[in-house]
C-alpha cells in the first residue's frame, strides 16, 4: 500500500476527494476524521505541491473506479467523478545535420548583424553640426545677407531717429530690445519661453522709462539699477520653478542674460545723439561688409575698415569730426562679436532673423555710450 495520501499523483497536482453525500453517515465521518488526525506524512493539506505543467488538451470528465483508502475500506463506495488532465508529450528537439538549416531554425545561434563602414552622409539622428564636423567643414553658419540687410536698416533707423530726438529714438530702440530678448532665448534652444522673453522685454522697457525719468546725466544709475532689480526678480522666479535643478539653473541664466542684453541696449537712449548716428551707420556698414561672399579672414579685416571709413564720413557731418573713426571702428568690433555669437553651432533660420539681426547692434551699445561721452 502506498504511503501517499488519497488522491495524490506524482505528475499531477492532487485534488481533494469529493465524497458522495448520499449514504455518508456520521459514523463514517468520525471514522475518516480519526484516521485523518493520525496521519503523519506530508499531504496536500500541509504543504503546497509544485504546479504541474498544464496540458494543451483536457479530456472530458471521466469515471474513476472506487479506490482503497489504505485502511481496509473504500473511500468512495458510490464512485467519484473528477477531471483528469492528460499530459501531452513534449516534442524532442533533434539537431539538424545541416548547419544552414540549424542556423535558420535557431535564431539565437545566428550572428548579430554588424555595422557597416562609416559614411560622410550620416543618418537622420545626426545633427547638422555633427555632420559638418564629420565632413571636415565648420559647424558655424553665419546669418547671411538677408539678416545683415535687416540689421543695416535698423541701424540706419537708430541713426536717423537720434537726429530727431529721444522719443523718436525710442521707437526703433524698443524694436531692437524685443528682438534681442526673443533671439537670445532662441539662440540657447529655449522656445517659446514666453515668460522669460516677457520678463526680459519688461526689464528693457523699465530701463527706458527710468532713463526718461532720470535724464541722460543719470543714465548709469538708471540702467544698472534696473538691471539689478531684474536680476533679483529673475532669481526669485527661478526659485519658484518646479523644474529640475539643472533645467532651472539653465533657464535662470538665460533669463538673466537676455534681460541684461535688452537693458544694455538702452545705452543708445542714454548716449549722445551724434554718437548714436555714427555708431548706427558704422554697425550697418560693418555687418554688410561681413556678409559679402569673401573668405572669412578677408571679411573680418574689411568689415572694421569699412566701418571706420563710415565713422569718418558721418563724424565729419556731426560735431565728432575725425573722432568718429575711433567710434566707428570700436562699434564695428563689438558688432562682429555679436555677429559671431549669433552664428554659433548651426543655429536655425529663426535665430538668424532674431539674434543675428539684434546682437550686432546690442553689443555695440556700450561702446557707443562710453566713447560718445568721452569724445563729445
Q: What is the pLDDT of residues 239-259, one digit of tens each?
A: 887 778 788 888 889 999 999
SS (H, E, C) 148-198: HHHHHHHHHHHHHHHHHCHHHHHHHHHHHHHHHHHHHHHHCCCCCCHHHHH
First to last CA, the chain: 122
Res 370 pLDDT > 90: yes
- 55: closest CA among 85, 78, 35, 19? 85
Q: What is the pLDDT of residues 88-132, one digit of tens each?
A: 555 544 444 554 444 444 444 454 444 455 555 444 556 666 777
Q: What is the pLDDT of residues 319-359, one digit of tens each?
A: 888 889 999 999 999 999 999 999 876 667 888 999 999 99
Res 311 pLDDT > 90: yes
Tell me how far apart the alpha carbons of residues 155 and 360 are, in angstroms, rounded to a whole number: 10
Tell me how far apart the alpha carbons of residues 314 and 327 are, in angstroms, rounded to a whole number: 11
Tell me how far apart the alpha carbons of residues 338 and 332 are, in angstroms, rounded to a whole number: 10
Which pLDDT value is given to residue 148? 95
Which pLDDT value is given to residue 37? 47
Tell me how far apart the alpha carbons of residues 366 and 337 are, in angstroms, rounded to a whole number: 13
On whether the pTM is more than 0.85, the answer is no
Which pLDDT value is given to residue 4? 47
Of 6 and 213, the structure prediction assigns the larger pLDDT to 213
| β-strand pairing of 80-82 with 62-64 | antiparallel
With 0-12 CB in 10 A as exposed, 13-18 as middle and 19+ as buried, what is 270?
Answer: buried
Q: What is the pLDDT of residues 264-295, one digit of tens each?
A: 999 999 999 999 999 999 999 999 999 999 99
Which pLDDT value is given to residue 232? 92
Which pLDDT value is given to residue 5? 46
Which pLDDT value is given to residue 128? 66
Which residues 6+ apart lie within 8 Å of 325 measured at CB?
308, 309, 311, 312, 315
Cα 348-350-356 angle, rounded to 5 deg: 90
Tell me how far apart the alpha carbons of residues 195 and 373 are, in angstroms, rounded to a whole number: 35
- 263: closest CA among 233, 285, 241? 233
Residues linked to residue 352 through DSSP beta bridges, in sequence order: none
Number of H helices, E strands in the chain: 14, 2
Which pLDDT value is given to residue 113? 47
Q: What is the mean predicted confidence (pLDDT) over 370-374?
A: 91
Which pLDDT value is given to residue 349? 82
Which pLDDT value is given to residue 78? 44
Task: Determine what percent of the chain is predicted with pLDDT higher than 70.
Answer: 64
Which pLDDT value is given to residue 118? 54
Tell me how far apart the alpha carbons of residues 334 and 345 are, in angstroms, rounded to a whole number: 20
Which residues 6+ apart lie within 8 Å of 300 measured at CB?
290, 336
Which pLDDT value is given to residue 7? 44
Residues linked to residue 64 through DSSP beta bridges, in sequence order: 80
Res 307 pLDDT > 70: yes
Which pLDDT value is given to residue 125? 57
271 near 376, Cβ under 8 Å? no
Q: What is the pLDDT of residues 33-88, one digit of tens each?
A: 554 444 444 444 444 445 555 444 444 444 445 554 444 444 444 444 444 445 55
Which pLDDT value is given to residue 127? 63
Which pLDDT value is given to residue 6? 44
Cis peptide before 192 (omega within 30 of 0): yes
* Torsion angles phi and psi, residue 82, rounded to 5: -150, 155
Element (H, E) at 82: strand 80-82
The residue with cell 559679402 is: 292
Which pLDDT value is given to residue 26? 54
Q: What is the pLDDT of residues 145-196, one digit of tens each?
A: 999 999 999 999 999 999 999 999 999 999 999 999 999 998 887 867 888 8
265 near 176, Cβ under 8 Å? yes
- 8: closest CA among 37, 45, 60? 45
Amino acid at each position: 500500500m502506498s504511503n501517499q495520501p488519497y488522491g495524490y499523483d506524482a505528475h499531477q497536482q492532487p485534488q481533494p476527494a469529493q465524497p458522495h453525500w448520499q449514504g455518508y453517515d456520521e459514523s463514517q465521518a468520525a471514522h475518516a476524521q480519526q484516521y485523518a488526525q493520525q496521519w503523519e506524512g506530508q499531504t496536500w493539506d500541509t504543504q503546497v505541491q509544485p504546479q504541474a505543467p498544464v496540458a494543451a488538451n483536457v479530456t472530458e470528465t471521466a469515471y474513476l473506479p472506487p479506490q482503497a483508502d489504505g485502511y481496509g475500506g473504500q473511500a468512495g463506495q458510490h464512485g467519484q467523478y473528477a477531471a483528469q488532465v492528460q499530459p501531452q508529450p513534449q516534442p524532442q528537439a533533434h539537431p539538424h545535420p545541416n548547419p544552414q538549416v540549424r542556423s535558420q531554425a535557431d535564431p539565437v545561434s545566428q550572428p548579430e548583424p554588424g555595422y557597416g563602414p562609416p559614411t560622410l552622409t550620416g543618418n537622420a539622428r545626426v545633427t547638422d553640426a555633427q555632420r559638418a564636423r564629420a565632413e571636415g567643414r565648420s559647424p558655424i553658419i553665419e546669418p547671411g545677407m538677408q539678416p545683415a540687410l535687416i540689421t543695416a536698416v535698423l541701424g540706419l533707423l537708430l541713426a536717423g531717429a537720434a537726429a530727431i530726438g529721444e522719443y523718436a529714438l525710442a521707437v526703433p530702440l524698443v524694436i531692437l530690445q524685443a528682438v534681442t530678448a526673443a533671439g537670445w532665448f532662441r539662440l540657447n534652444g529655449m522656445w517659446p519661453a514666453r515668460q522669460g522673453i516677457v520678463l526680459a522685454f519688461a526689464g528693457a522697457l523699465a530701463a527706458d522709462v527710468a532713463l526718461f525719468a532720470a535724464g541722460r546725466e543719470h543714465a548709469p544709475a538708471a540702467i544698472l539699477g534696473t538691471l539689478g532689480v531684474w536680476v533679483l526678480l529673475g532669481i526669485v522666479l527661478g526659485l519658484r520653478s518646479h523644474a529640475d535643478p539643472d533645467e532651472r539653473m539653465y533657464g535662470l541664466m538665460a533669463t538673466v542674460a537676455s534681460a541684461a542684453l535688452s537693458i544694455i541696449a538702452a545705452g543708445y537712449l542714454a548716449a549722445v545723439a551724434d554718437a548714436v548716428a555714427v555708431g548706427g551707420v558704422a554697425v550697418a556698414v560693418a555687418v554688410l561688409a561681413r556678409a559679402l561672399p569673401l573668405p572669412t579672414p578677408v571679411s573680418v579685416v574689411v568689415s572694421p575698415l569699412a566701418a571706420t571709413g563710415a565713422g569718418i564720413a558721418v563724424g565729419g557731418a556731426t560735431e565728432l569730426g575725425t573722432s568718429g573713426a575711433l567710434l566707428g571702428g570700436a562699434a564695428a568690433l563689438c558688432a562682429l562679436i555679436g555677429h559671431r555669437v549669433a552664428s554659433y553651432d548651426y543655429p536655425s533660420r529663426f535665430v538668424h532673423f532674431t539674434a543675428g539681426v539684434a546682437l550686432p547692434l546690442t553689443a555695440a551699445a556700450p561702446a557707443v555710450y562710453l566713447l560718445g561721452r568721452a569724445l563729445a
